Amino acid sequence: MHTVNPALTLPLAAALALAPAAHADGFQTTPLPPVSDPIGFAGAFAGICKGHLIAGGGANFPDGVMPWDGGKKVWHDRLFALDLTQSGAAWNAAGKLPSRNGYGVSLTAEEGILIIGGSDETRHLADVHLMTLGENQQVHFRPLPSLPEPLAQMCGAIVGRKVHLCGGIVSPSATSASNQHWILDLDAPAKGWSEAPPLPATGRILATAAAVGNQFIIAGGCSLAPDSAGKATRTYLTDAWKFSGNEWSRIADLPRPSVAAASPAPVMGDSFFIVSGDDGKQAGIASPTLHKGFTREVLCHDVSNNTWATVGDLTVPPPVTLPTAPWKNGSILFNGEVKPGVRTPQVFQFMPESATP
């Protein structure tokens, strides 16, 4: 059974009053109240609207039985809201997604929160919605143009007023990943998604995206290929790319593989951060029960100098397959998976050190 850090059970005012966890250099983490679900979710959606963190969806194993023991993975549509502007705020029910959904992309825009693609128990989705928060603290949805094809496990970020998506798979049984690149102009959404130059590299899932200045960046992830039985096998990737001026160029490789790190990546100035991620070192273990958890290492890439650095280790259980939401020069990280099959209800803010007050 997963144990929740006691500090994460405090009300918002008390949690924010805690001294942020200090790190070697580069960032701080501050706990927020855990979501009001004892297990938590992987592949959830999250964003900011009207000073509220709205998050939910995703999937978990609600009976606590892991898949290798016959447990059933369940997708969810519940949404939760936390008023970040009020002291002592607690999570409240905020309504539901249009359908059970997880492992898509959620992005905070001026208009609200974009919910893009994803999957349920049987299929992948092409639906796109703008989620906003009404006066009754319940969510509302406005349909936007659907994706050209269903997609899940892709990554995305907003550069200026343009939404960029890259990678992903079109169905649960896919044995290869996409390298396609799609753009939606938020100032002309009726025009729909346009096909942009594809990533000039192997297709991938669970990569990390970032928006740095006028550049869309994609780093890591894993490619897929069928094994002798026709099942998808993963190859962990370290390459990273930036898209600017309508063309891709390769940037310095990651120091280690990174799959399913927090995305979109936290950004400060010309730098973005790879928070946690599966580095592949335990991919061949005899049993998932022997997994020791994902990497605590946080990487930072300086786009101007095209260099990577390790900037410290997380002191919270390192999560993977999780969304981020921008807040006060940092990013809020919502839930995720801390070991195979094991979710966490933890929520915390990641703040680059030079951005802290």
Q: For position 136, what pLDDT does the model report?
A: 84
Q: How far is CA 287 from the centre of its chain?
A: 26
Q: What is the pLDDT, as a whole number, of residue 354?
A: 67
Q: What's the whole-number mean pLDDT along residues 55-63?
A: 97
Q: Cα separations (Å) of 109 from 91, 114, 159, 164, 205?
A: 22, 7, 10, 13, 23
The H or E element spanning position 13 is helix 12-17
pLDDT score of 25: 56
Residues 249-303: tens digit of each pLDDT: 999 999 999 999 999 999 999 999 999 999 999 998 999 999 999 999 999 999 9
Q: Answer yes or no: is pLDDT of 131 > 50.
A: yes
pLDDT band at residue 135 under the 50/70/90 scheme? confident
What share of the chain has pLDDT > 90, as a percent?
89
Looking at 5-19, 54-68, 130-144, which range is the least confident one?
5-19
Q: What is the mean pLDDT of the chain?
A: 92
Asked if 159 and 148 touch (Cβ cutoff 8 Å), the reply is no
Contacts of 137 (CB under 8 A, 6+ apart): 52, 81, 92, 94
Answer whether residue 308 shows pLDDT above 70.
yes
Stretch 187-202: mean pLDDT: 98
Q: What is the pLDDT of residue 3?
A: 35
Mean pLDDT of 105-114: 98
What does the pLDDT read at residue 87? Answer: 86
Between CA 338 and CA 277 the distance in angstroms is 10
Q: How far apart are CA 92 and CA 104, in angstroms?
A: 23
Per the CB < 8 A criterion, the answer to whether 127 and 150 are in contact is: no
Average the pLDDT over each of 2-11, 65-74, 208-217 and give the range with the smallest value: 2-11
* Domains and their CATH numbers in the chain: 11-355 (2.120.10.80)
Find the mean pLDDT for residues 96-124.
Answer: 98
**188 vs 355, higher pLDDT:** 188
287 exposure class (CB count in 10 Å sphere: 0-12, 13-18, 19+): exposed
Contact 318, 294 (CB under 8 A): yes
Name the residue with tokens 């390298």: 179
Query: Between 112 and 13, whose confidence is greater?
Result: 112
Which of 6-20, 86-100, 231-245 is the least confident region?
6-20
pLDDT of residue 9: 33
pLDDT at 14: 35
pLDDT of residue 70 exceeding 50: yes
Is the pTM here over 0.85, yes or no? Answer: yes
Span 131-157, mean pLDDT?
96
pLDDT of residue 23 exceeding 90: no
Of the ranges 8-17, 88-97, 148-157, 229-238, which one carries the lowest mean pLDDT score?
8-17
Q: Which amino acid is at 56?
A: G
For residues 177 and 205, the answer to whether their CB atoms sit within 8 Å is: yes
Please return the burial class of 184, using the count of CB atoms within 10 Å of its CB with bins 0-12, 13-18 and 19+. buried
